[in-house]
Amino acid sequence: MFLGLAIFIALLIAVNFYRVLVGPTIFDRLLAVGLVGSNALLLIVLIGFLYERADMFLDLALTYAILNFIGVLALG
């Protein structure tokens, strides 16, 4: 189950990363950057549950979410 979800999230990251590279406007690219960060956040949480160390990985995910938010604001 975890492997299927991880593959699905990785596929979503790839699709969104394509949108970052080919997006027609800067706003589409910024939105795609935020989505890549959010999907990566989900992948980090999923890995945390997979390793049964959700507490440690949730701290990493929260830090990553804050950095993702600041990065999108800095680019916008």
Per residue of the chain (76 residues), give pLDDT as tens.
888 998 999 999 999 999 999 989 999 998 999 999 999 999 999 999 888 888 888 888 899 899 988 988 888 7
List, in order, residues 6 or more apart from 49 with CB less than 8 Å away.
Answer: 2, 57
The predicted structure's pLDDT at residue 41: 92
Residue closest to 2 by CA, chosen among 61, 54, 52, 49:
49
Contact 32, 16 (CB under 8 A): yes
* Number of structural domains in the chain: 1
DSSP code of residue 53? -
Contact 36, 16 (CB under 8 A): yes
The predicted structure's pLDDT at residue 75: 81
Q: Which domain holds residue 6?
A: 2-75
The predicted structure's pLDDT at residue 5: 92
Residue count of the chain: 76
Q: What's the predicted TM-score (pTM) here?
A: 0.82
The predicted structure's pLDDT at residue 17: 92
